[in-house]
């Protein structure tokens, strides 16, 4: 009986071995057959072919999946039909990669705007604008697949605008989201009735934070600080509102609150040996506590003064002098750089404006044909001067702003100024060793005039390109 069991075990083991070996061989054969085709699809996806060439990429994926399914099902037609579908998949993937190359040429600004929106978490914080932009870039990709360059460019410009709006909205929502939530909760707790001043302070802090983001979306530190304070005041207002409502419900609640305050003051008074009697209110104990604290502070000051030496004072003076010297030297270098830039341009070509942490090269001398965004060769020398100016601050962030006069509709002016700013940006990228993320552009249309739009001279000044170099450390 034992011999039969051993023999059966050996037979089962041999069968399992050959079955496993055959299965591994089958998987190895499939991997060898499919690997190169899967690699090209993965390569296309890594280059965003699913976004920039959606139909060709979809068909490539579809044919690959059909071949994969046929192989697993041992479908009639054998390897010949499977190879045919894999070859078709490869052809569509290669077409998708060709379209990606076109997109990198004709939709470059849109792709950059999309990457910036992604970096700002637009799919999380500005989903509606993001989805709208994605639909339009999808249409632009289909236009490129159909060799319709003009429609692709037009769709790309729309997508760029939406991606930029999504980026700004995402930055706002990411920074301001908590504050908005806390203020909303405070309002639901009736803070406008019971904690009016606190809730209004929270709202004002939120408004100031939003203004800071709109003025410079990439300098977020101050806006974040304002937003955090708004969130705190929102929570504070909610607490005050709930506490005051509770106190208002029953007169004895006021006694409970006062006794609680007395207990807190008593705990503070104990280590100070201060008075903790409240038969005439808080004033006596509070004054005694403050007096004891002032005595401790004064005693601490005297102890520090006694321990200070002349040597320490001299070291402090030397340190202050060194800091001042370094600051003056830094300012001297900055002034020299700005002076170098001013010397590059005539008054007809540009005006150099130093505002806070920004240096603005206001190009009066760069003109475009009416209604167009094409840089004429006669202005190449002026842009060469701009390049030299940028090289004074080679590592700084650069913003190119397009501005128009008030003639025409605001939307037409905004689009035209956006195109002109983009043209200057592309020129600088093509002729300088700048990283794409170091330079961006905005079209502001007629929103920021620097002169009256009622005169010819004023309108001429308003039609300009501003090169804004951030001097932020």
Looking at the fold, whether 344 and 455 belong to one and the same domain comes out as yes
**Alpha-carbon span 293 to 295, nearest angstrom:** 5
pLDDT of 139-185, one tens digit each? 999 999 999 999 999 999 999 999 999 988 888 888 888 888 999 99
Q: Calculate mean pLDDT across residues 407-436.
A: 93
Query: Does position 11 have pLDDT exceeding 90, yes or no?
Result: no
User: pLDDT band at residue 77, thresholds of 50, 70 and 90?
Assistant: low
Residue 268 within any structural domain of the chain: yes
Coil, strand, or helix at residue 150? Answer: helix
Final residue belonging to a domain, choices 189, 218, 249:
249
338 and 465 both lie in a single domain: yes
In this prediction the pTM is 0.45
Is 421 in contact with 465 (CB distance < 8 Å)? yes
Average of per-residue pLDDT across 355-379? 91
Lowest-confidence pick of 129-138, 151-160, 207-216, 312-321: 312-321
CA distance 401 to 372: 16
Q: Is 220 within a domain?
A: yes
| pLDDT, tens digit, 9 for 90 and up, residues 24-53 | 455 676 787 888 888 999 999 999 999 999
Q: 203 in a domain, yes or no?
A: yes
Let me know whether 16 and 82 are in one domain: yes
Lowest mean pLDDT among 128-132, 134-138, 326-330, 337-341: 326-330
Both tokens of residue 339? Answer: 């002076």
**Integer Cα distance of 429 and 386 in angstroms:** 12
Q: Is the pLDDT of residue 3 over 80?
A: no
In which band, very low, low, confident or very high, does the pLDDT at 18 lie, cut at 50, 70 and 90? very low
Q: Please check whether residues 70 and 21 belong to one and the same domain.
A: yes
Distances (CA, A) of 191 to 215, 232, 378: 30, 14, 63
In a domain, 77, yes or no: yes
pLDDT in tens, 306-359: 777 667 776 787 788 777 888 888 889 999 999 999 999 999 999 999 988 899
- Clarify whether residues 346 and 447 are in a common domain: yes
Question: Are 260 and 225 members of one domain?
Answer: no
Does 146 reside within a domain?
no
**Span 380-419, pLDDT tens digits:** 999 999 999 999 998 899 999 999 999 989 999 999 999 9
Domain that holds residue 260: 255-299
CA distance 268 to 228: 30
pLDDT in tens, 240-272: 999 888 888 887 777 778 788 878 888 888 888
β-bridge partners, 352: 361
The Cα–Cα gap between 307 and 384 comes to: 62
Is residue 166 included in any domain, yes or no? no
Please provide the DSSP assignment of 54-86 as one string: HHHHHHHHHHHHHHHHHHHHT-TTHHHHHHHHH
Residue 343 lies in a domain: yes
Query: What pLDDT sits at residue 310?
Result: 67
The pLDDT of residue 76: 47
Same domain, 283 and 375: no
Query: Same domain, yes or no, for 266 and 393?
Result: no
319-327: Cβ within 8 A, 24+ apart: none
Q: How far is CA 158 from CA 21, 118, 176, 447, in A?
A: 57, 17, 27, 20
3-state DSSP call for residue 447? Answer: coil
C-alpha distances out from residue 10 to 1, 22, 393, Å: 15, 18, 79
Q: What is the DSSP track for 385-410?
A: HHHHHHHTSTTS-EEEEEE--SSS-H
Say if residue 294 is in the same domain as residue 340. Answer: no
Q: Are 369 and 416 a contacting pair, CB within 8 Å?
A: no
d(CA 72, CA 26): 10
pLDDT at 372 over 70: yes
Do both 19 and 91 map to the same domain? yes
How many domains does the structure of the chain reveal? 4
């Amino acid at each position: 009986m034992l011999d039969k069991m051993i023999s059966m075990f050996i037979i089962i083991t041999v069968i399992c071995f050959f079955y496993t070996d055959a299965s591994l061989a089958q998987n190895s054969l499939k991997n060898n057959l499919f690997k190169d085709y899967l690699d090209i699809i993965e390569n296309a996806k890594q280059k965003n072919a699913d976004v920039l060439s959606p139909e060709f990429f979809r068909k490539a994926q579809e044919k690959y999946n059909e071949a994969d399914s046929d192989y697993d099902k041992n479908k009639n037609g054998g390897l010949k039909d499977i190879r045919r579908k894999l070859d078709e998949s490869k052809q569509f993937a290669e077409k998708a990669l060709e379209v990606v190359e076109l997109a990198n040429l004709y939709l470059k600004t849109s792709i950059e705007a999309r990457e910036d929106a992604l970096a700002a978490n637009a799919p999380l914080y500005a989903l509606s604008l993001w989805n709208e932009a994605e639909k339009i870039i999808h249409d632009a990709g289909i236009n490129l697949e159909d060799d319709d360059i003009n429609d692709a460019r037009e769709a790309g410009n729309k997508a760029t605008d939406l991606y930029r709006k999504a980026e700004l909205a995402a930055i706002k929502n990411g920074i301001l989201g908590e504050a908005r939530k806390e203020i909303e909760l405070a309002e639901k707790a009736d803070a406008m009735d019971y904690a009016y001043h606190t809730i209004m302070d929270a709202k004002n802090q939120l408004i100031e934070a939003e203004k800071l983001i709109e003025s410079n979306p990439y300098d977020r530190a101050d806006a974040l600080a304002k937003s955090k304070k708004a969130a705190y005041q929102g929570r504070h207002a909610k607490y005050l509102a709930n506490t005051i409502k509770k106190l208002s419900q029953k007169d004895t609640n006021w006694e409970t609150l006062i006794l609680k305050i007395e207990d807190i003051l008593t705990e503070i008074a104990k280590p100070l040996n201060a008075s903790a009697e409240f038969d005439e209110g808080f004033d006596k104990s509070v004054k005694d506590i403050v007096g004891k604290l002032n005595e401790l502070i004064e005693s601490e000051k005297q102890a520090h003064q006694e321990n200070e030496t002349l040597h320490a004072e001299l070291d402090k003076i030397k340190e202050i002098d060194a800091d001042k010297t370094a600051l003056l030297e830094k300012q001297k270098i900055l002034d020299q750089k700005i002076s170098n830039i001013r010397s590059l341009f005539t008054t007809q070509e540009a005006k150099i404006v130093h505002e806070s942490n920004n240096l603005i090269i206001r190009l009066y001398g760069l003109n475009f044909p009416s209604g167009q965004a094409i840089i004429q060769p006669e202005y190449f020398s002026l842009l060469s001067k701009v390049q030299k100016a940028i090289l004074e601050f080679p590592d700084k962030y650069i913003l190119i702003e397009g501005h128009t006069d008030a003639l025409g509709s605001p939307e037409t002016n905004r689009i035209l100024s956006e195109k002109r700013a983009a043209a200057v940006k592309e020129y600088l990228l093509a002729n300088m060793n700048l990283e794409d993320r170091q330079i961006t552009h905005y079209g502001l249309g007629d929103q920021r005039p620097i002169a009256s739009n009622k005169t010819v001279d004023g309108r001429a000044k308003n039609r300009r390109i501003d090169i804004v170099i951030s001097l932020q450390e």
